[in-house]
Amino acid sequence: MNTKTNAKQQTKIFSLLLIAATTSLIFSCGSGDNATKETSADTVATDSYKPESATAVYDAAKIDANAPVMEVKLDALGNSMDVMSFSMPEIRVKAGSTVKIYLNNTSKDAAMKHNFFIVKNGTMEDAANAALTAGSDKNYIPDDKTNILYTSKILDPGQSEELVFAAPPVGEYQFVCTYPGHWQKMNGKFIVE
Ligand SMILES: [Cu+2]
């Protein structure tokens, strides 16, 4: 076999490989379930990964009885909209734990009703607007919870409540009161590490 023939054969093999690769690419790029079945196991695993899935499968009510409990004392402070605030700017909890927040509305003014939401980072204003639309009939809890991980009911002045929920997946979130007009002053970082 001389060098010339060898090179020709290599070109032929390369062309065949190229056709095979192109064919597999066409299958990979197909849409729908059928296309997914045609592809290799590796590709299926990649296709099934969705960035949203981490929180989409999160269920605050799914509490593991054996999980460590992290207790947090959080006060809603102030008797007017000018000075109202949460007592902590940041809450840190461990992933896999059960979170117990003792939320105490220390206010005395009738307008100082508060709640506690955990929302995806950067969505607290959207949550507050959606809560406003939901209104008092729905306890200021929006129907669409795409970006909302946890909601509490509204606490009247002087009321307190123990909020118990499973820690969300590792990440940075926001906690916020969505009672109308409160979100800008009543919010903080909720960090799961
Ligand atoms: Cu509030």
pLDDT tens track for 168-178 = 999 999 999 99
Q: How far is the CA of 6 from the centre of ligand 1 (A)?
A: 79
Q: How far is the CA of 12 from the centre of ligand 1 (A)?
A: 72
Q: How far is the CA of 125 from the centre of ligand 1 (A)?
A: 13
Determine the average pLDDT of the residues in 172-190. Answer: 97
Q: How far is the CA of 49 from the centre of ligand 1 (A)?
A: 37
Q: How far is the CA of 86 from the centre of ligand 1 (A)?
A: 8
Q: Judge whether 99 and 167 are in contact, CB under 8 Å.
A: yes
pLDDT confidence band for 142 (50 / 70 / 90): very high
Determine the average pLDDT of the residues in 150-179. Answer: 97
Domain boundary assignment for the chain: 3-49, 56-192
CA 117/CA 38 separation, integer angstroms: 43
Residue-wise pLDDT for 25-74, tens only, equals 434 444 444 333 443 444 333 333 344 544 458 999 999 999 999 999 99
**Cα first-last separation, the chain:** 65
Q: How far is the CA of 177 from the centre of ligand 1 (A)?
A: 5
The tally of CA atoms less than 13 A away on the side-chain side of residue 113 is 14
Residue with the larger pLDDT of the pair 84 and 34: 84
Beta bridge partners of residue 72, listed in sequence order: 101
Residue 57 is predicted with a pLDDT of 81
Q: Which helix (H) or strand (E) holds 24?
A: helix 3-29
The residues, ordered by sequence, that sit 6+ positions from 123 with a Cβ below 8 Å of its Cβ are: 147, 148, 174
Which of 5-14, 64-73, 162-171 is predicted with the least confidence, judged by mean pLDDT?
A: 5-14
What architecture (CATH level 2) is domain 56-192?
Answer: Sandwich (2.60)
Q: How far is the CA of 78 from the centre of ligand 1 (A)?
A: 10
Q: How far is the CA of 64 from the centre of ligand 1 (A)?
A: 30
Q: How far is the CA of 179 from the centre of ligand 1 (A)?
A: 5
Geometric angle at alpha carbon 111, from 105 and 112, rounded to 5° = 20
Torsion of CA 123, 126, 131, 132, to 10 degrees: 150
Q: How far is the CA of 108 from the centre of ligand 1 (A)?
A: 13
- Asked if pLDDT for residue 167 goes beyond 70, the answer is yes
Residue with the larger pLDDT of the pair 35 and 14: 14
pTM beyond cutoff 0.85: no
Residue 44 is predicted with a pLDDT of 39
Cα separation values, 95 from 156, 164, 169, 175, Å? 31, 14, 6, 16
Q: How far is the CA of 172 from the centre of ligand 1 (A)?
A: 21
Q: Judge whether 160 and 107 are in contact, CB under 8 Å.
A: no
Residue-wise pLDDT for 90-138, tens only, equals 999 999 999 999 999 999 999 899 999 999 999 999 999 999 999 999 9
CA 59/CA 148 separation, integer angstroms: 11
